Chain A
């Protein structure tokens, strides 16, 4: 008989797991975590390669030599922008495309911010888009080149160089007859909201808060999109942004293509503003790769649509962003190489007969030439979470064993007390029955707690609008209202165990082992589900939650209780957000001292909170939903666990 079907051997396996479960869980977690971090090492991952042979990158000789034209556009654009620094020069862009002879249209849209930011006002916006038709093809497919318009006074990186480059490329592309797909040039206002409005109108889908008329000019189905964010006319390197809405990534072949062509034209290639290490096999090289991979995961985890390209991925259109950077000490190149890069990318995309489908959609990048595929990162992640599942199994076994032990001791008593007569026997039989009933009731008794925690999650999900309305008579700014409202909700949820103790009697209170078992299983389920789409979010949550949750148990010792409570509080969603903001502040800005860091982080905490809610309503991002309905109830169940008593 097999190992698992043989009851005796199964019993021994299960017995050994239960006896050593602490060690096994600890081992699983440590092995999983270190294995995951070790994946950034060159020997453990793979080099990037082209799966789609039709791309034939860099084989065609570039014919773009329009540097002077591009410089002309750039200076014209600058003078146009200085006339009015706060608006988008829609007419000027429209006229430029018109002069080139392309079909150009202005797309008007309006949108309303959720949570009544800016009240009920509908904010207007305009996108300008021009379609260059392929001269000998049937307009069945299209490629998109987009630039988000930013004014001269913007705090973000400027994009005017990219706009001049786009006009030049439009001029160059229309002179050739070898295009098999239409090329659509889009200049958006309001960043990715404008892009979402345009895409909605193009695909005739409807968004709740963004509304626009249908497009006058239409191309074919979009195969790929490139977003340009080049600040000036001279850059030395290209940085690439891949992460999109909900942590979705474009096809790895598109990234490989863009990297190859940029390198060919003499640009430095950066990923998350990090260079590739010169000696990746050394320890310093490994650390650099680890840093790049970590930064990529840090950007992917929140699931925000960071740039224009992020909203394309939802429509199965592969897109990424090229950010031009001028690094100190590096040789800067002008529009010639930039134009040849864009031309090379588009000529390769032109060769495609099918959508991108060959290469990976789920990966992590330690550098521009190495990747970690889903097949490499899933096993260590699974081992990390396996710790909590093993603990759940151990909890279940120990839970049922105690009942059985109780039954067997009763049986022994029965045998020894046979002399006492039948009445005693009957009593014992009744006890035996009662215990069995208790065991059966045990699983059902977990349900009220889970139900209430889920209700809290629902409250957290639907509360922002309520808090905004509450804050209006108090003249609170929306962000503050939501921030303090969520804090209030969080603190009130902390009081749940006290109410549970009062309302649930001894009998109907669940066995803490059962509650822990069910909560761990739910946690594993939620984490694995998140990992399928957004591995970074799942990894960060697992890394902090699994060790703490596995080691929780209710105790009568006050000190131990306080210790457990503080650890659990540290990984609560609210505090976790605060800690993330602190870490982010430390990474991006130099802060003077700890106190100001903590205070600033408290202030800055509003941003991701609001952004999560805004994006979930505006663009359909589900990070906020998952945290409210998946992570928060689960955490609350553990919080109840430690206070419930044995």
Chain B
């Protein structure tokens, strides 16, 4: 199930000025086409509005919205929110006539918390004066990373002289470089990710907000937020599920779900420690071009 919601306001890949149509590369050497076959833009052009963004986050969409445009998350979901564009002190530009303010964003996260729509959020923002966007957050379990402090500009990394534009920003470039090396089994921690762009590389100072986050970033895996890594526990035993009836009495259901020979074993199984299987080696199957 694709739980990536992509909102892109400008169509860069199919812009007539792009000499490589339908391809967007991460750097001037054109190594990775980041606009590959598995990219699906859910909100495009004029659909990328502050209203739509907050509706997606809070889940208050009209019933006719297709599932691919909804954020189907619950209270156990870890959500990664990545925002980039033109920004300033306390706002991020959406369209030429619209901006989202840091207060609106904080309220949207609070709504999500009240509706139990997330377990933890990693909020990454790459704009000028990005830090201002997470300063107003007040909901728990949010870790904020910003590419620049208030009063600083985030800078671009380099020019692609075949197109004649700056193709990637510094923070995103180094973050992407780090994340390209992360596999689903990787034990890299979030604190390593937070150090990814020192001032010598980024020129602006990367800001981090950890006070709302309850776990220690040194103990949080990067794969908790990236790669849609799910921990699977394989069980060699079958579990028979019978119809529980209308009573809903838990003791009665217990008696009925385990048969005579499996009930005793079940207790034994519960005392064994759980282990997760290795992750599927997905990186060996990913197409790079």
Contacts and interface: CB of A to CB of B under 8 A. Distances in A.
A177 B17 CA distance: 8
A316 to B, nearest CB: 21
A136 B164 contact: no
Interface stretch (B75-83, B155-163, B180-188, B245-253): B155-163
Instruction: Give the residue among B16, B21, B159, B166 with the most A Cβ atoms within 10 A.
Output: B16
B18 interface: yes
Contact of A60 (B14, B15, B18, B161): B161
Q: How would you classify the secondary structure of chain A's contact residues: helix, strand, loop or mixed?
A: loop
B175 interface: no
A137 interface: yes
Interface in A123-143: 134-137
B165 A178 contact: no
A350 B161 contact: no
Contacts of B15: 180
Contacts of A137: 16
B19 interface: yes
Contacts of A178: 16-19, 163
- Chain A, interface size category, equals 10 to 19
B162 A136 contact: no
A602 interface: no
A136 B159 contact: no
Contacts of A503: none
A346 to B, nearest CB: 12
A351 B17 CA distance: 7
A626 interface: no
Interface string B149-181: 000000000010111111000000000000000
Contacts of B21: 136, 177
A176 B161 contact: no
Contacts of B164: 56, 59-61, 347-348, 351
A176 B14 CA distance: 15
Nearest to A179: B16
A253 B165 CA distance: 18
Nearest to A136: B16
A242 B162 CA distance: 31
A348 B165 CA distance: 10
Nearest to A138: B16
A134 B15 CA distance: 12
Contacts of A176: 19
A350 B165 CA distance: 12
A54 to B, nearest CB: 9
Interface in A38-60: 56, 59-60
Interface string A61-88: 1000000000000000000000000000
B258 to A, nearest CB: 66
A176 B162 CA distance: 12
Interface string A334-356: 00000000000001101100000
Contacts, number: 40
B20 to A, nearest CB: 9
B19 A59 contact: no
A59 B163 CA distance: 8
B16 A59 contact: no
A448 to B, nearest CB: 58
Nearest to A57: B164
Contacts of B165: 56, 59, 351
A481 to B, nearest CB: 57
A180 B161 contact: no
A180 B16 contact: yes
A60 B162 CA distance: 6
A351 B15 CA distance: 11
Contact of A180 (B17, B159, B163, B166): B17
B17 A59 contact: no
B16 A60 contact: no
A342 to B, nearest CB: 15
Nearest to A54: B165
B159 A134 contact: no
Contact of B162 (A61, A177, A179): A61
A126 B17 CA distance: 34
Contacts of B16: 134-137, 177-180
Contacts of A180: 15-17
B97 to A, nearest CB: 14
A135 B164 CA distance: 19
A177 B19 contact: yes
B46 to A, nearest CB: 15
B18 A59 contact: no
Contacts of A60: 161-164
Nearest to B18: A178
A178 B161 CA distance: 13
A423 to B, nearest CB: 82
Nearest to B163: A60
A351 B19 CA distance: 13
A56 B17 CA distance: 13
A286 B123 CA distance: 56
Interface in A174-190: 176-180
Contact of B161 (A61, A135, A136, A179): A61
Instruction: Give the residue among B15, B18, B19, B164 with the most A Cβ atoms within 10 A.
Output: B164
Contacts of A56: 164-165
Interface in A160-199: 176-180
Contact of A350 (B14, B17, B159, B162): B17
Interface string B31-72: 000000000000000000000000000000000000000000
Contacts of B159: 59
Nearest to A61: B161
A347 B165 CA distance: 11
A476 B287 CA distance: 86
Contacts of B19: 176-178
Interface string B1-24: 000000000000011111101000
A350 to B, nearest CB: 6
A136 B20 CA distance: 12
Interface in A474-516: none
Contacts of A348: 164
10 contacts: A59-B159, A59-B161, A135-B16, A136-B16, A137-B16, A178-B18, A178-B163, A180-B17, A348-B164, A351-B17
Given A59-B164, A59-B165, A135-B16, 20 more contacts: A56-B164, A59-B161, A59-B166, A60-B162, A60-B163, A61-B161, A61-B164, A136-B14, A136-B16, A136-B21, A137-B16, A177-B21, A178-B16, A178-B17, A178-B18, A179-B16, A180-B15, A180-B17, A348-B164, A351-B165
Interface of B: 14-19, 21, 159, 161-166
The 10 closest A-B pairs by CB, nearest first: A60-B164, A61-B161, A136-B16, A137-B16, A180-B16, A178-B19, A59-B164, A180-B17, A59-B159, A178-B17
